[in-house]
């Protein structure tokens, strides 16, 4: 059961696409989007309790103000016990970015996956299925 999904991306079309794909595979209606990492971090810092934490985060890398990496760096420092799936979705096909994402895997208990845009239905399913079973 997926209660909540966050999409952190400054590109409206990508947000639209992820929402549309999600609608076909999960019944979650609580989807929130943030146009950069800083807005998302502010949201986490102001959360009342763990129930409001998302199960899945779709994270873009190239964003203004606070980019995906900066967000990730800040996020893993948050005292969150719950295991959250953070799915990096980027248009970058630079292998350095993929390598960098791997370094985060060892530093956190959260699950970190890496996908390049455009996402398709299968990939969305692979991301959401394990999260569904956790609950």
Q: Which stretch binds other proteins (CB under 8 A): 14-22, 44-52, 100-108, 123-131?
A: 14-22
x/- map, 56-75, other proteins, by CB under 8 A: ------x-xx----------
- Which three-class secondary structure state does DSSP give residue 80? coil
Q: Is 113 in the site for other proteins (CB under 8 A)?
A: no
What phi and psi values does residue 111 have, to the nearest 5 degrees? -90, 125
- The answer to the question of residue 128 lying near other proteins (CB under 8 A) is no
According to DSSP H, which parts of the chain are helical? 12-25, 37-45, 68-75, 95-105, 121-134
CA distances from 47 to 42, 51, 54 (A): 9, 9, 11
- Using CB under 8 A, pick the residue from 27, 48, 93, 106 that binds other proteins: 93
Structure tokens at 4: 């909540």
- Which residue ranges make up the site for other proteins (CB under 8 A)? 11, 13-14, 16-17, 20, 36, 62, 64-65, 91-94, 116-120
């Amino acid at each position: 059961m997926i209660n909540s999904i966050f999409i952190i991306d400054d590109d409206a079309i990508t947000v639209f696409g992820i929402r549309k794909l999600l609608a076909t595979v999960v019944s979650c209606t609580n989807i929130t989007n943030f146009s950069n990492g800083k807005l998302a971090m502010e949201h986490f810092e102001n959360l009342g309790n763990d129930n409001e934490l998302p199960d899945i985060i779709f994270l873009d890398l190239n964003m203004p103000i606070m980019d995906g990496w900066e967000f990730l760096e800040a996020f893993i420092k948050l005292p969150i016990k719950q295991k959250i799936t953070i799915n990096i979705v980027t248009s970058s096909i630079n292998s350095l970015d993929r390598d960098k994402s791997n370094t985060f895997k060892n530093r956190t208990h959260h699950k970190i996956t890496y996908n390049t845009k455009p996402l398709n239905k299968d990939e969305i399913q692979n991301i959401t299925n394990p999260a569904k079973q956790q609950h």
